[in-house]
Chain A
Amino acid sequence: MDWAGWALFGLVATVALTAALISAQLAGLTRLDLPLVLGTLVTEDPDRARVVGFFIHLCAGQGFALGYAATFALLHRATWWIGALLGTLHVGIALTVILPLLPGVHPRMASQRAGPASTAVLEPPGLFALNYGVQTPSVAAVVHVIYGVVLGLLLQAD
Chain B
Amino acid sequence: MTGEPDTRCPRPPAPISDYGLLGDTRTAALVASDGGIDWLCVPRFDGEPLFGRLVGGPDAGMFRVGPAGPTTVVERRYRRHTATLETTWAVGSGRLTLTEGMVAEVSGRLLPTTLVVRRLSAEEAAVDAVVEFDPRLGVRHRRPRVHHRRRTLCEWGSLAVSLDSAPELAIEPGRPTSITVRPGHPITLVLAVAHREPLIHVEPAAAWDLLIEDENRWRGWTAEIDESLPFREHVVRSLLTLRLLTYSPSQAPVAAPTTSLPEDPGGVRNWDYRYVWPRDASIAVSAFLSVGKPDEAHGFLAWLLHASRLQRPRLPALFTLHGRHVPAERDLGGWPGYLDSVPVRVGNGAARQHQLDGYGWVVDAAWAFAQAGQRLYTETWRAVRGFADVVARRWQEPDAGIWEIRAPAQHVHSKLMGWLALDRALRIADTHPLSDRQRRRWQKARDAIAAEVRTRGFDPTMASYVRSYGSQDLDAALLVLPLLDMENVESPRVRGTIDAIRDRLSAGGPLLYRYPPGRDGFPGTEGAFLPCSFWLVQALARAGRRLEAVELFQTMLDYASPLGLYAEELDPATGAHLGNYPQTLTHAALIQAALAIRDAPAIDPGSA
- The residues of A with any CB-CB pair to B shorter than 8 Å are 25, 28-31, 45-47, 110-119, 121-124, 126-127, 131, 133-134
Contact = CB atoms under 8 A, between A and B. Distances in A.
A123 B250 contact: yes
6 contacts: A46-B379, A113-B111, A116-B105, A117-B107, A119-B299, A131-B324
B243 A131 contact: no
B298 A121 contact: yes
B232 interface: no
B250 A118 contact: no
A127 B306 CA distance: 18
Contacts of B303: 121, 123
Nearest to A134: B324
B379 A116 contact: no
B107 A113 contact: yes
A70 B302 CA distance: 41
A46 to B, nearest CB: 4
Contacts of A28: 310-311
B309 interface: yes
The 8 closest A-B pairs by CB, nearest first: A121-B302, A115-B105, A114-B248, A46-B379, A47-B378, A131-B322, A110-B249, A115-B104
Interface string B108-123: 0001010000000000
A127 B158 CA distance: 14
Q: Per DSSP, are chain B's interface residues mostly helix, strand or loop, or mixed?
A: loop
B295 interface: yes
Contacts of A25: 309
Contacts of B295: 119
B322 A47 contact: no
B124 to A, nearest CB: 36
A47 B107 contact: no
A110 B311 contact: no
A92 B303 CA distance: 27
A116 B25 contact: yes
A121 B299 contact: yes
Interface in B295-344: 295, 298-299, 302-303, 305-307, 309-311, 322-324
Q: Per DSSP, are chain A's interface residues mostly helix, strand or loop, or mixed?
A: loop
A81 B40 CA distance: 50
B322 A110 contact: no
A122 B309 CA distance: 13
Nearest to A114: B248
Contacts of B26: 112-115
B107 A123 contact: no
A113 B113 CA distance: 5
B104 A47 contact: no
Nearest to B43: A112
A114 B249 contact: yes
Contacts of A115: 24-26, 104-107, 248
Contact of A45 (B104, B105, B243, B377): B377
Contacts of B322: 123, 126, 131
Given A116-B104, A117-B217, A124-B249, A47 B377 contact: yes
Nearest to B300: A121
A123 B323 CA distance: 9
Contacts of B324: 131, 133-134
A123 to B, nearest CB: 5
A47 B375 CA distance: 13
Contacts of B106: 113, 115
B403 interface: no
Nearest to A117: B105
Contacts of A31: 306, 309-310, 323
B48 to A, nearest CB: 16
Contacts of B250: 110, 123
B249 A121 contact: no
Contacts of B105: 115-117
Interface string B244-260: 00001111000000000
Contacts of B305: 46
B221 interface: yes
B45 to A, nearest CB: 13
Interface string B214-246: 000110010000000000000000000001000
A50 B310 CA distance: 18
B251 A121 contact: yes
Nearest to A118: B248
B237 to A, nearest CB: 16
B107 A114 contact: yes
Nearest to B308: A31
Contacts of B251: 110, 121
Contact of B310 (A47, A112, A133): A133
Contacts of B379: 46-47
Given A28-B310, A45-B378, 15 more contacts: A25-B309, A46-B378, A113-B113, A114-B248, A115-B24, A115-B25, A115-B104, A116-B218, A116-B243, A119-B295, A119-B299, A121-B299, A123-B249, A123-B307, A131-B323
A110 B303 CA distance: 11
Contacts of B299: 119, 121
A111 B309 CA distance: 20
A112 B113 contact: yes
A112 B45 CA distance: 12
Nearest to B23: A116
A131 B46 CA distance: 14
Interface centre among A28, A116, A121, A134 (most CB of B within 10 A): A116
A30 B196 CA distance: 24
A111 B377 contact: no
Nearest to B246: A116
Contacts of B111: 113
